[in-house]
């Protein structure tokens, strides 16, 4: 395959960025999108040019580091797929592809396609924990949990914190991410001791970080590579309302 790639180049957070055109050849259909960038970077290095900086780790759709906006869509056009799991067979020979970093005020660009998403870490640190005694694991049957709640909690815990929901939202809202993190604990017995203070702390930190408000565009759910449902936003809103009324 031969492709035309317009990649965002930005030397650092304070520098002015721009899209730079690259012609990429000899791309195999079975390559992942990141492997296509590996090929491009090898060519750039061979020419003595600066390679394109992009974030990655597991390349298995688990870590959420591969945050790229591809043709205007976070992680690309394939639903329920991270950038690293998007394969070049989903594109056509001769295609023109535009690649940019996630766009959101709380996600400042570090370099090229890498953004600083530590705002998510601070939100989780504000309340994403359970204060239970550590030690030997309890028997699975000691804490009875309904299958409905167990399944819902697992669905929420599937969130990998990649930030696609924020990048897709016209308001730059992090409600889907925070909703998933709040819900995964609120649905389980282990999460009950800090249930009220957790949601208050996480929502407050989210607002302090500068994320926008949810106005029900549903773009977050559409862009999420793990297909997290917006029902967890509703769950978080109920948790927040209850905690605000009845206190910690």
| pLDDT at position 98 over 90 | yes
Q: What is the mean pLDDT of residues 207-219?
A: 96
Q: Regarding predicted confidence, which is higher, 127 or 226? A: 226
The pLDDT, as a whole number, for residue 130 is 74
Q: Residue 38 gets which letter from DSSP?
A: H
Specify whether the CB–CB gap between 180 and 156 falls below 8 A: yes
Q: Does domain 117-132+144-246 have CATH number 1.20.1250.20?
A: no
Is the Cα torsion angle 77, 79, 82, 88 positive or negative in sign?
negative
Indicate the SS3 state at residue 18.
strand
What CA–CA distance (Å, rounded) separates 159 from 127?
16
Specify whether the CB–CB gap between 158 and 228 falls below 8 A: yes
What CA–CA distance (Å, rounded) separates 17 from 172?
20
Neighbour tally for 177: CB within 10 Å: 29
Within the chain, all domains assigned CATH 3.10.20.30 are found at 3-111
For the record, the structure tokens of 234 come out as 């509703």
Nearest partner of 175 among 101, 222, 235, judged by Cα: 235
The CATH superfamily label for domain 3-111 reads Beta-grasp domain (3.10.20.30)
The pLDDT, as a whole number, for residue 39 is 97
Within the chain, all domains assigned CATH 1.10.1060.10 are found at 117-132+144-246
| pLDDT at position 140 over 90 | no
The pLDDT, as a whole number, for residue 143 is 76
Indicate the SS3 state at residue 85.
helix
Across the chain, what does the average pLDDT equal? 94
Confidence tier at 137 by pLDDT (50, 70, 90): low
Tell me the pLDDT tens digit for each residue of 162-190. Answer: 999 999 999 999 999 999 999 999 999 88
Neighbour tally for 243: CB within 10 Å: 18
């Amino acid at each position: 395959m031969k492709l035309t790639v317009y990649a965002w180049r930005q030397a650092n957070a304070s520098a002015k960025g721009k899209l730079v055109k690259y012609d990429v050849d000899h791309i195999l259909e079975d390559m992942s999108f990141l492997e296509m960038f590996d090929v491009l970077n090898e060519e750039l290095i061979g020419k003595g040019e600066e390679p394109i900086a992009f974030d990655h780790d597991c390349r298995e759709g688990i870590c959420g580091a591969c945050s790229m906006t591809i043709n205007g869509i976070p992680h690309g056009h394939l639903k329920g797929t991270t950038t690293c799991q998007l394969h070049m067979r989903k594109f056509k020979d001769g295609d023109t592809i535009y690649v940019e970093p996630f766009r959101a005020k709380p996600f400042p660009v570090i370099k090229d396609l890498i953004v600083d998403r530590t705002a998510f870490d601070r939100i989780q640190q504000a309340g994403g924990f359970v204060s239970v005694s550590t030690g030997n694991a309890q028997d699975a049957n000691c804490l009875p949990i309904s299958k409905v709640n167990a399944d819902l909690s697992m669905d929420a815990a599937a969130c990998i914190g990649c930030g696609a929901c924020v990048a897709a939202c016209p308001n730059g809202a992090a409600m889907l991410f925070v909703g998933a993190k709040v819900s995964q604990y609120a649905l389980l017995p282990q999460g009950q001791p800090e249930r009220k203070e957790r949601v208050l702390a996480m929502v407050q930190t989210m607002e302090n970080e500068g994320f926008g408000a949810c106005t029900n565009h549903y773009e977050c759910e559409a862009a999420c590579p793990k297909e997290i449902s917006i029902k967890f936003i509703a769950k978080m809103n109920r948790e927040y309302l209850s905690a605000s009324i009845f206190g910690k």
